[in-house]
């Protein structure tokens, strides 16, 4: 068999007619065609074609066989979604950062981003069970804090801010029954209040969960996100999970969920210092391509980190002078 194959390959260096090959090798035409199929499977590029009513065969020794390994991700029209994740601005705290929040919104506007998702603690609230907290506030009570945020929170003509409230905001409900989220949204047509602790936002069928949990930080940045996702049942999983509260920066893809821990936009507070808590500052810009069902085909997370509070920048200027 091997001798016959080698002889056939040698003869096929030139264009040959099938009947001529049969006589030359002394085998039947179907045997020749069978051997050619075997040679094709072994990677040889052999052309079999009809010319002047004769079956012609030729080995294309120098021709590369182009194969297509097709892996179809999505055969329909993809849609691009872009938005920003921000959280824990804690406005009305003496360590709030209105100048930095405005600078971030300037960047969003420059990049033509139209949607900001704020994941809670828009205000610093007032913890009556922390006697020292009152000395860390610029404004007191739900009315004063709402007025401060209505005035100070960035407003841009083409940007909508969707927000939920967090544990600091909820102190106003505990203290006097006021939902500060409603009070803010009532006076700001560019800000839409979605509820307490949690909201689901759907963009082009892509499901985004905004969440502001409770409790303290864990030893590992991934731990709280992972445990929260582990507790989800299959039918309730989002495509994207955005979680505030922990003032940490982290991204992971877990159980088919793109999960983000969102940094704060608040300076380092005495409370953080006394409990040795970390405090990342910044925001996420998310760009994703989704199919008709909202499944994420590709996602680009971009972190805009903030390294210094405005107080540190101001102190550097004073020292420089």
According to DSSP, residue 90 is labeled -
Q: Does residue 47 register a pLDDT over 90?
A: no
Supply the pLDDT for residue 76: 62
Supply the pLDDT for residue 40: 76
Q: Do 42 and 99 fall within a single domain? A: no
- Structural domain count of the chain: 2
Full residue range of the structural domain in which residue 25 is found: 2-59
Q: Which residues pair with 261 in a beta bridge?
A: 243, 250
Supply the pLDDT for residue 162: 96
Q: Do 33 and 122 fall within a single domain? A: no
Give me the mean pLDDT over the 239-261 stretch. 97
Q: Does residue 200 register a pLDDT over 70?
A: yes
Calpha distance 260→186 (Å, rounded): 29
Give a yes or no: residue 315 inside a domain: no
Supply the pLDDT for residue 315: 57
Beta strands in the chain (DSSP E): 16-17, 46-51, 54-59, 79-86, 115-119, 160-165, 191-196, 198-203, 206-211, 240-243, 250-254, 257-261, 281-290, 296-306
Q: Give the pLDDT band of residue 120 (cuts 50, 70, 90).
A: very high
Give a yes or no: residue 37 inside a domain: yes
Tokens of 58: 């030729």
Q: Which residues pair with 191 in a beta bridge?
A: 161
Give a yes or no: residue 317 inside a domain: no
Q: Give the pLDDT band of residue 51 (cuts 50, 70, 90).
A: confident
Model confidence pLDDT, tens digit, residues 135-192: 999 999 999 999 999 999 999 999 999 999 999 999 999 998 999 999 999 999 999 9
Q: Do 145 and 88 fall within a single domain? A: yes
Give a yes or no: residue 319 inside a domain: no
pLDDT, averaged across the chain? 89
- Among 31, 59, 87, which residue terminates a domain? 59
273 in Cβ contact with 70 (< 8 Å) = no
2 vs 91, residue with greater confidence: 91
Q: How far is CA 239 from CA 97, 112, 136, in A?
A: 31, 23, 38
181 in Cβ contact with 167 (< 8 Å) = no
Q: Do 141 and 246 fall within a single domain? A: yes
Q: Do 137 and 47 fall within a single domain? A: no
Supply the pLDDT for residue 321: 43
Q: Do 288 and 235 fall within a single domain? A: yes
Give me the mean pLDDT over the 93-111 stretch. 97
Q: Do 232 and 291 fall within a single domain? A: yes
What CATH number did the domain enclosing 17 receive? 1.10.10.10
Tokens of 41: 């499977």
91 in Cβ contact with 304 (< 8 Å) = no
Q: What are phi and psi of 308, to 5 degrees?
A: -135, 145
Model confidence pLDDT, tens digit, residues 28-43: 888 888 888 887 776 6
Give a yes or no: residue 241 inside a domain: yes
Q: Do 50 and 122 fall within a single domain? A: no
């Amino acid at each position: 068999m091997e001798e016959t194959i080698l002889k056939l390959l040698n003869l096929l260096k030139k264009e040959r007619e099938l009947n001529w090959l049969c006589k030359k090798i002394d085998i039947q035409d179907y045997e020749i065609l069978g051997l050619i199929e075997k040679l094709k499977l072994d990677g040889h590029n052999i052309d079999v074609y009809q010319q002047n009513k004769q079956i012609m065969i030729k080995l294309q020794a120098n021709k590369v066989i182009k194969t297509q390994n097709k892996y179809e991700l999505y055969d329909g029209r993809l849609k691009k979604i872009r938005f920003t994740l921000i959280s824990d601005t804690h406005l009305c705290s003496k360590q709030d950062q209105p100048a930095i929040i405005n600078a971030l919104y300037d960047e969003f506007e420059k990049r033509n981003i139209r949607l900001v998702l704020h994941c809670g603690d828009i205000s610093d609230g007032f913890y009556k069970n922390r006697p020292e907290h009152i000395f860390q506030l610029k404004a007191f009570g739900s009315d004063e804090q709402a007025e401060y945020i209505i005035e100070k929170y960035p407003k841009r003509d083409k940007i909508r801010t969707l927000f939920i409230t967090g544990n600091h905001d909820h102190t106003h409900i505990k203290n006097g029954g006021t939902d500060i989220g409603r009070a803010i949204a009532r006076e700001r047509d560019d800000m839409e209040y979605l509820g307490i602790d949690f909201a689901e936002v759907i963009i082009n069928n892509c499901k985004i969960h905004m969440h502001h949990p409770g409790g303290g930080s864990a030893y590992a940045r991934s731990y709280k996100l992972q445990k929260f996702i582990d507790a989800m049942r299959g039918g309730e999983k989002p495509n994207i999970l955005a979680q505030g509260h922990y003032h940490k920066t982290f991204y992971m893809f877990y159980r088919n969920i793109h999960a983000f821990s969102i940094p704060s936009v608040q300076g380092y507070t005495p409370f953080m210092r006394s409990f040795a808590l970390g405090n990342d500052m910044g925001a996420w810009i998310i760009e994703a391509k989704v199919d008709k069902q909202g499944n994420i085909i590709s996602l680009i997370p971009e972190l805009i980190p903030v390294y210094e509070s405005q107080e540190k920048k101001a102190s550097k200027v004073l020292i420089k002078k």
